[in-house]
């Protein structure tokens, strides 16, 4: 290579490197100072505004397709179903169905939001089912992620599946004592969760709630290797605007935007009734003065379990098969973790299309 060609090639390399560094610097500034890369919300109408929840409808024109009511878990916003255009479950379902979403709101910004207990939220889902069924004249298919799935099971059992077409859940453990990987003895599992509850008594007394920032950090700390891998990948792609646009909504969600406070009374109920006493699987649970158990569910049930889900292990999720003996239950294993069951390319390619087929097969 002659000197002139060498200088020309070197100049091109330098210009390309400088351009890459400029893009990386600009993208890093966006991430740090505004974080608004690829912001998204699917248009919807708030059709009901109750004390505990709002009811969103995502389709303006009437649809003769199945009606879907989607329920988020506590501490997570309903945007878990609507993170970005390519990752939006409600946008996907809106093409053929009539999706509605329960929005429990932001407890820290709502008068009395931190005083709600677990039964308040179960009754809210029950009320939402009644409202959606009355407005549409159709059966309602319940869809719930994580604890949102538990609310779906509990509300369906509470109303003996009246106006409920089916229940579809993602990573929803109904037998929490089977969620401990190395503990097979029921008494030992109870003692583990009793210790956990006692350990949270002090911060609950101090905060009166589980703060959203603590939940966000805890969610990531429970899977540190995945968090490290994600951060490393983010740094390596700082120059790639399109990749950042695709990943930014999920990043913002997990970094705190997708989390809200968990009300203290509801958390205490969950720790004692669902975890320590394992009432979902053993003896039933109370909603006000009513005792309810999952064996009252007699509508079809579809559950998804993540093969690498450490939050909701398969034995705890699949226990619905024995706890709801009158229901026709189908389980699907997916090669993903807890969050990936409802958000991400795996979910959009392998989970939501199966939900859509299930809804077509079980339309009223």
pLDDT tens for residues 147-172? Answer: 999 999 999 999 999 999 999 999 99
In angstroms, rounded to a whole number, what is the distance separating the alpha carbons of residues 353 and 302?
Answer: 13
Of residues 183 and 333, more confidence is placed in 333
With CA atoms as reference, report the closest residue to 236 among 84, 14, 228, 85.
228
Of residues 281 and 1, more confidence is placed in 281
Confidence class of residue 341 from pLDDT cuts 50, 70 and 90?
Answer: very high
Confidence class of residue 23 from pLDDT cuts 50, 70 and 90?
Answer: very low
- 45-361 is a CATH 3.40.50.1820 domain: yes
> pTM for this one?
0.81
In angstroms, rounded to a whole number, what is the distance separating the alpha carbons of residues 176 and 184?
Answer: 12
Phi first, then psi, for residue 197 (nearest 5°) are -65, -40
Using CA atoms of 172, 139, 42, 88 in order, give the dihedral in degrees to the nearest 10: 40
- For 192, the enclosing helix (H) or strand (E) is helix 186-207
Confidence class of residue 66 from pLDDT cuts 50, 70 and 90?
Answer: very high
Q: Where are the domains of the chain?
A: 45-361
In eight-state DSSP terms, residue 87 is G
* 37: three-class secondary structure by DSSP: coil
With CA atoms as reference, report the closest residue to 177 among 15, 312, 338.
312
Residues 6+ apart with CB under 8 A from 360: 66, 96
In angstroms, rounded to a whole number, what is the distance separating the alpha carbons of residues 57 and 102?
Answer: 9
- For 313, the enclosing helix (H) or strand (E) is none
Of residues 211 and 305, more confidence is placed in 305
Q: Are strands 262-263 and 285-287 parallel, antiparallel or unpaired?
A: unpaired
- Of 6-20, 69-83, 243-257, 261-275, the least confident: 6-20
- Residue tagged 């429990």 (tokens): 104
Whether residue 44 contacts residue 59, with contact meaning beta carbons closer than 8 Å, is answered with no
In angstroms, rounded to a whole number, what is the distance separating the alpha carbons of residues 34 and 28?
Answer: 10
Q: How far is CA 361 from CA 141, 179, 210, in A?
A: 12, 31, 40
**Longest CA span, the chain:** 90
Confidence class of residue 187 from pLDDT cuts 50, 70 and 90?
Answer: confident
Question: How many CB atoms sit inside 10 A of residue 7's CB?
Answer: 11
- Residue tagged 């879907």 (tokens): 68
Which two tokens mark 343?
């958000």
Which two tokens mark 157?
């059992």
């Amino acid at each position: 290579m002659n000197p002139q060609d060498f200088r020309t090639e070197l100049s091109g390399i330098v210009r390309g490197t400088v351009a890459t560094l400029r893009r990386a610097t600009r993208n890093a500034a966006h991430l740090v100072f505004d974080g608004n890369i690829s912001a998204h919300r699917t248009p919807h109408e708030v059709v009901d505004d109750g004390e505990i929840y709002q009811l969103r409808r995502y389709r303006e024109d009437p649809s003769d397709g199945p009606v879907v009511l989607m329920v988020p878990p506590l501490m997570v916003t309903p945007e878990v179903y609507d993170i970005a255009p390519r990752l939006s479950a409600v946008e996907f379902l809106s093409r053929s169905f009539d999706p509605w979403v329960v929005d429990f709101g932001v407890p820290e910004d709502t008068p009395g939001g931190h005083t709600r207990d677990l039964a308040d939220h179960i009754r809210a889902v029950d009320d939402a089912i009644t409202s959606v069924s009355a407005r549409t004249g159709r059966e309602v298919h319940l869809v719930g992620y994580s604890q949102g799935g538990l609310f779906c099971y509990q509300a369906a059992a509470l109303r003996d599946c009246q106006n409920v077409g089916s229940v579809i859940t993602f990573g929803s453990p109904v037998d929490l004592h089977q969620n401990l990987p190395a503990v097979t003895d029921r008494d030992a599992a109870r003692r583990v969760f009793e210790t956990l509850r006692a350990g949270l008594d002090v911060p609950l007394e101090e905060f009166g709630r589980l703060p959203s920032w603590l939940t966000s950090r805890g969610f990531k700390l429970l899977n540190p290797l995945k968090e490290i891998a994600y951060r490393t990948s983010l740094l390596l792609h700082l120059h790639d605007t399109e990749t950042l646009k695709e990943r930014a909504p999920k990043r913002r969600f997990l970094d705190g935007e997708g989390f809200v406070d968990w009300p203290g009374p509801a958390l205490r109920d969950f720790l004692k009734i669902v975890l320590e006493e394992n009432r979902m699987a053993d003896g039933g649970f109370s909603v006000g003065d009513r005792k309810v158990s999952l064996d009252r569910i007699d509508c079809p049930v579809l559950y998804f379990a993540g093969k690498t889900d450490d939050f909701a292990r398969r034995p705890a999720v699949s226990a619905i098969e024995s706890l709801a003996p009158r229901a026709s239950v189908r389980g699907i294993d997916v090669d993903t973790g807890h969050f990936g069951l409802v958000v991400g390319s795996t979910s959009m390619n392998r989970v939501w299309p199966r939900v859509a087929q299930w809804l077509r097969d079980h339309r009223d």
